Chains A and B, each alone.
Chain A
């Protein structure tokens, strides 16, 4: 909210320098977002009477306006539409100075010379309203100084008020905080409107839903519609509102000053001369003042005329035929207190927010309603020549009592870490309007009803902290007495994995876990348990990922599009699968590790560069196996959706399938404008972290020499070399130290569909030197086993 200092001073004589006031407001939690001092940079702007408006000869959206500025007349080009003959507007001649635009010069706009300009609020340094030219009181003399007319020599604090502090959304509330802070008196004069018994107030008010509308005050006055006087219009402009008419302006004035939303109805147009507050019927419609037709639900509260015709969505926005107009003679003023939740729900569902709804949903003062209506009546009489009916309708069947809160000095000190006395606590609270009595652990704080945030002891503790200031709180460090801090094993191992991948040359990516369903399908990710977003902004981000790879492929495309051709990325993150059991509501989240590689391995000038291939993915997964010391891990040729069937493998740990790697096929790449080779890897990291680890019991390195033998087998093409190696390992009975595939060979002599696999086996016993006989025996066992299990023949 925007709070002009001159208005604040109506209630407390704060004279502190501006920077001290700003510091105070910030400390109190009324965050100052901006400080405007419009008068500082405005000079030479005068009031001018509009003599006539003509279209601009060369531009549809511009007009040429003749103005009388007191000591002469001239013409200016104007872009706003709200200017008509007879209006009094702020005019900045050439040579005038403005906050943003600086010193104005005469200029020619589309062939018409403009002698200065007419001003919108923002050009005068008042907020950011650029919608139209400011209108000054019509009785203003042309030539008068606008700086004085608008009282621009003021300071405006633009405050950001947290949702728990509705009381601070008005000038009196801000003044109360400052008065407390600076130790100044706060004086809010009691309103008193002179009444006229001649004005009839034969109105009826019926409240069908008192739980939703606990209080409804209605007042009647005969009014003379017209513009507001300058002082009122000025304050509204400075507070960021546009003056409309004296009646509407007064309702806005009281809203800003006292935090009381008001609504003025044209009583003569209210059917049955009365008000009925009722819940809407399902499907009932109302066109609100912003021009939109709204369909209502039975939880929405309506303000209707006595015949039941909807006139407003309670507390949010008007929308009936009884809005005030220039012809209005008599008004019915509504001042109400609506239940917070109801307003919040309706406002949220209709996506309709207003100055009123923002205040009602946070909570206004139910016990200030009548007084604030009186304030409005006083102002109607003062600025609108209104004659106020004496009768006051006040439907308030169950008055809301202020909260009585027990506060313990010991608790205050225990929470804040202070050693405040009873007196210090009482002194802190009193100036906020909180009535305090008692002592020690029996202080009673009666919270004013304009502070709905004060309900519990802790709420009062916070008020004490705010008042004494956080700077006066001590500084200590809490440490656990018994707990040893640090990471869990799983957390440490995840760091290990990431570090291993970084060592292997990959950069860590973080992709957005929201993708398109088609993307999952295209890349072979599971789609049977997809979790859909309920309110996505874009189709591309409408489901939760079931694999990380689609996001990494997008990242590859981004890099390729930016001329980066060698890309090696990994990501560790969650994937999401819809729950399978009836009881579970949350999806299953699994931690995955994915990597993607594309481009070349750069080895020049030592050796030729070579394109990335699926073996690079094998290397990467082996790095991870090594980092985690997985005991039983292998990659096994396999066909998996989303991978080239000829160039893919399953990642198998402890005999369980935990992932897949291989070439991403061209079909999946084409959609992203990518070309092969792109190699992918996706592993269920939770599964991997749960795998059996290598035995770390110490074994002395054997001092005996090794024996090496070479064996070449001819096997069918579909026998994986890894499987043969495993057989060799088993057959050598623990004496095999290392087995290495050193050659793969195909020839006509071997025949079609056959290949030769040549292995070197290094054998060593822990306790002796192996004899030639023993080595020969192992060799034979290996030959037999490969023949038995893979149909392999020893190649001579």
Chain B
């Protein structure tokens, strides 16, 4: 065999392999084809064997012809494999294909309670402003829930809240906390200023669950104490917070004089209605404003109760209900929705 004959043999085999590949229907056929055209008894094996008998000068060219041939066969096989894969489903008998349009192994994702979602959002906004998240007990003593907050016994503010007392200690001395404000007191009792915290949590009233009342609900309280915290800081902080909360730079805030025993000056906080932008709608009862909560400068009596010098330290506090925020945002009609634990409600969020 000379070089020319070898070349012709390989070319013919290559062409034949090309035709054979066309008829292959799967990987097994192509494995057979590979054995037949590059295996031990294939034409290329014959040529390879013959290379030693060729003149020295032709051996190099013959070697190249062999390797070109092998590469060509490999490519033919690869191409055919890809083509088979691409056209596989066309050939599949109906019913062998998985219908993945529906049905599953039964794993579905659950849902965080809407109040938790709102709470996390608020915590994260305040964390971004440098605040920490503080917590306190849900069953409180009179000192932390009332007295230290400048609400002495028989203070009219006590009758503003229906307190649920528990049978511990002296009569009417231990209660389910009526607000998250006692966490302010505990935080200040155990930390030196400056203080920047938010305190979210469950709060309680002696009420029966219905459309507008609930024995349990959630509040978040914000407290900042530093050397020169001002009323302007309070208003400014609320403004940036509210814009983030509603993700709307055009939300305006309104402050009106109000009264809370633990802050002075005190204000009621309202935001321009995020639905009608102040035009008046059902959500804002046609006022253009939505009341969110209360705020004010920490009363010096509160500082004295926790042993801070009111001449050295000033602070602000504000708080509001988490359910209220969720109700405004999603148009939820009744507070009881949050506590019925109806899966159809929970799964909406």
**What is A's interface to B at a CB cutoff of 8 Å?**
26-29, 31, 162-165, 341, 344-345, 348, 361-362, 414-418, 456, 458-459, 461-462, 465-466, 470, 473-488, 491, 495, 498-499, 501-514, 531-538, 541, 544, 552, 555, 558-559, 562, 564, 566-570, 573-574, 576, 578-579, 585-587, 589, 601-607, 609
Contacts and interface: CB of A to CB of B under 8 A. Distances in A.
B276 interface: no
B4 interface: no
Given A458-B264, A484-B130, A473 B344 contact: no
B20 interface: no
B264 A462 contact: yes
A471 to B, nearest CB: 8
A361 B139 contact: no
A531 B168 contact: yes
Contacts of A603: 103-106
Contact of B256 (A414, A470, A536): A470
A604 B111 CA distance: 23
Contact of B138 (A458, A473, A574): A574
B256 A29 contact: yes
B208 A477 contact: no
Given A348-B154, A486-B127, A502-B110, A507 B139 contact: no
B120 A495 contact: yes
B234 to A, nearest CB: 8
Contacts of A488: 132-133
Contacts of B347: 507
B35 to A, nearest CB: 30
A477 B129 contact: yes
Interface in B285-302: 297, 299-300
Contact of A558 (B115, B123, B132, B340): B340
Nearest to B296: A462
A477 B125 CA distance: 14
Given A470-B235, A501-B110, A564 B105 contact: no
Interface of B: 102-113, 115-116, 120, 123, 126-133, 135, 137-141, 154-157, 159-160, 164-169, 171-174, 176, 194, 196, 202, 206-209, 214-216, 224, 226, 228-233, 235-237, 239-240, 255-259, 264-268, 297, 299-300, 314, 316, 338-344, 346-347
Contact of B259 (A165, A506, A538): A165
Contacts of A606: 103-105
A602 B106 CA distance: 5
Given A163-B157, A483-B132, A495-B120, A417 B232 contact: yes
A476 B109 CA distance: 42
A206 B164 CA distance: 41
Contacts of A485: 126-132, 196
A466 B265 CA distance: 8
A461 B257 CA distance: 13
Contacts of A585: 141, 168-169, 173-174
Given A459-B264, A485-B132, A586-B139, A478 B229 contact: yes
B169 to A, nearest CB: 4
Contacts of B141: 585-586
Given A415-B230, A498-B112, A480 B165 contact: no
A509 B259 contact: no
Nearest to A353: B159
Given A344-B156, A470-B231, 5 more contacts: A29-B256, A478-B316, A483-B194, A512-B214, A513-B202
A607 B106 CA distance: 10
B265 A461 contact: yes
A483 B265 CA distance: 27
Nearest to B163: A535
A415 to B, nearest CB: 6
A350 to B, nearest CB: 13
A149 B264 CA distance: 45
B140 A568 contact: no
B168 A587 contact: yes
Contacts of A601: 106
A585 B297 CA distance: 31
Identify whether the interface residues of B are mostly helix, strand, loop, or mixed.
Answer: mixed
Contacts of A602: 106
Contacts of A574: 138, 202
Contacts of A461: 264-265
Nearest to A501: B110
Nearest to B198: A485
Contact of B226 (A341, A478, A511, A514): A478
B341 to A, nearest CB: 4
A574 to B, nearest CB: 5
Nearest to A457: B300
Contacts of A607: 105
A475 B232 contact: yes
Nearest to B311: A411
B207 A511 contact: no
B209 A605 contact: no
A506 B194 CA distance: 40
A573 B314 contact: no
A555 B169 contact: no
B196 A480 contact: yes
Nearest to A361: B156
Nearest to A502: B110
Pick from A162, A536, A605 the residue with the most CB of B within 10 Å.
A162
A28 B297 CA distance: 17
Contacts of A505: 107-110
A534 B172 contact: yes
28 contacts: A27-B256, A29-B256, A414-B230, A416-B232, A456-B300, A458-B264, A458-B297, A459-B264, A470-B256, A470-B267, A475-B235, A475-B236, A481-B194, A485-B132, A486-B132, A487-B127, A491-B123, A505-B110, A510-B338, A512-B216, A512-B339, A514-B164, A535-B164, A567-B343, A576-B138, A585-B174, A603-B105, A605-B102
Given A479-B129, A589-B139, A473 B342 contact: no
B189 to A, nearest CB: 14
A161 to B, nearest CB: 9
A509 B113 contact: yes
Contacts of A576: 138-139
Nearest to A610: B106
B168 A477 contact: no
A665 to B, nearest CB: 22
Contacts of B208: 537-538, 541
A415 B344 contact: no
A651 B105 CA distance: 27
B341 A480 contact: no
A345 B159 CA distance: 11
A589 B127 contact: no
Given A344-B156, A456-B300, A532 B167 contact: yes
B236 A348 contact: no
Contacts of B130: 479-480, 483-485
Contact of B265 (A465, A531, A587): A465
A576 to B, nearest CB: 6
Contacts of A165: 259
A679 B344 CA distance: 20
B167 A531 contact: yes
B113 A477 contact: no
B111 A559 contact: no
A601 B106 CA distance: 6
A501 B110 CA distance: 7
Contacts of B133: 486-488, 491
A508 B342 contact: no
A504 B105 contact: no
A411 to B, nearest CB: 9
Contacts of A569: 341, 343, 346
Contacts of B259: 29, 162-165
Contact of B154 (A31, A345, A465, A482): A345
A27 B129 CA distance: 29
A508 B314 contact: no
A345 B152 CA distance: 12
Contacts of A558: 340-342
A473 B130 CA distance: 24
